[in-house]
Amino acid sequence: MNEKNAGGVRQRSVEIVVPVYNEAHVLADSIGRLHAYLEASFPFPFRITVADNASTDATWQQANDLTHRLPHVHAVHLDAKGRGRALKHVWSQSTADVVAYVDVDLSTGLEGFLPLVAPVLSGHSDLAIGSRLHRQAAVVRGPKREFISRSYNLLLKLGLAARFSDAQCGFKAVRTEVFRALAPHIEDNAWFFDTELLVLAERNRLRIHEVPVDWVDDPDSRVDLVRTAVDDLKGVGRMLKRWATGRARVAAVPRRVSVPQVPATRQTAEVLPVRAGADASPSSRPENLEYAS
């Protein structure tokens, strides 16, 4: 996936992972919408990977069908559940410059995807997260989930001194080389994976960019809120023990370099800085982009 634009500048690439478990009823529609949106408006090479977490319905069959119908869609199957497990598996093996993920319900508005990945693609930030608690976010959800979300993020601020505002929004991106360095130190394979990744990044002085998102609660969400909350509390306790024993530092974390040359387009002109002397001529969006097998 090392495409070049008309000026010979290598384009940065993104792999978007969609973790799924028993989502046959929404998978085709969601992936179709995501694929159509990226093809129409995303100016960089991309790949969508459906990561099936041991589904017991027709999810895996549908995922395979999508790979034959849509040129940028791929699928992997894991024999065990866990969103963190799926992300760790795909992100660690990715050949893209930046890896990201979105929830299959597409509760987060896709218009926020380019603003999410742009700071990471440009080299400005190491990670980027969508935030439903940002003052400029537009969120529609019930009072119960709102209370739980705000309480959890307050707990992270008080217990782990976290500075990011929203740990669990299913809308994140990270430089691939940074994730590979952090991955061996992330213990959780489920919902606490996001929090562990972000806190570990902060403790290693990596830059996290926050993007306010438009977000509409999925009424069909099957997340067990009580069990997830208990697991998250256990995760916070585990991380506190790690800090106490001095195991928070990751020696081999790649640091940000100068802003790379990237193709300038109408869509990226305001969000992606171009290094002085870089080729700033417009480039067309690449077609039929694939990763090497």
Residues annotated as catalytic (active site), given as ranges = 194
CA dihedral 53, 253, 42, 60 (to 10 degrees): -10
Residue 143 CA to residue 189 CA, distance in Å, equals: 28
Residue 234 CA to residue 231 CA, distance in Å, equals: 5
- DSSP for 165-180? S-S--SEEEEEHHHHH
Q: How far is CA 148 from the centre of its chain?
A: 22
Is 99 in a helix, a strand, or coil?
strand
- Largest interatomic CA distance in the chain: 54
> Residues 218, 112: contact at Cβ < 8 Å?
no
> Residues 22, 291: contact at Cβ < 8 Å?
no
Going by C-beta distance under 8 Å and a sequence separation of 6 or more, which residues neighbour residue 89?
A: 51, 76, 78
> Residues 177, 72: contact at Cβ < 8 Å?
no
Q: Provide the token pair at 19.
A: 């973790």
